[in-house]
């Protein structure tokens, strides 16, 4: 993060965790709304990113096309 940059999402509580990351309840510091924030663990190796990480990012990118209040841009 660059020096002086603002943080848009502030973690409030851990909701759950799994093999690929942890999900937090977070507050949008601009709107005050609560959101789910997923922190993904990425283990890189000689071959680049794991296939599971690439799939996760691809799925999240596809969700951008939906106009749904539960999908954060």
Domain 9-63 has CATH 3.30.200.20: yes
Instruction: Tell me which DSSP letter residue 20 carries.
Output: S
Write down the domain spans for the chain. 9-63
The rounded distance, in Å, linking the Cα atoms of 53 and 1 is 22
> What's the predicted TM-score (pTM) here?
0.60
The first and second tokens of residue 28, run together, are 């949008």
Q: What string of pLDDT tens digits covers the 73 residues of the chain?
A: 445 556 899 999 999 988 778 999 999 999 999 988 888 777 777 778 888 888 878 888 888 788 877 776 6
Residue 61 among known ligand-binding residues: no
């Amino acid at each position: 993060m660059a020096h002086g940059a603002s943080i848009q999402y502030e973690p409030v509580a851990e909701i759950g965790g799994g093999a690929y990351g942890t999900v937090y309840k977070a507050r949008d510091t601009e709107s005050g709304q609560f959101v789910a924030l997923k922190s993904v663990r990425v283990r890189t190796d000689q071959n680049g990113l794991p296939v599971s990480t690439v799939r996760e990012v691809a799925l999240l990118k596809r969700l951008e096309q939906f106009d749904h209040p539960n999908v954060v841009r």
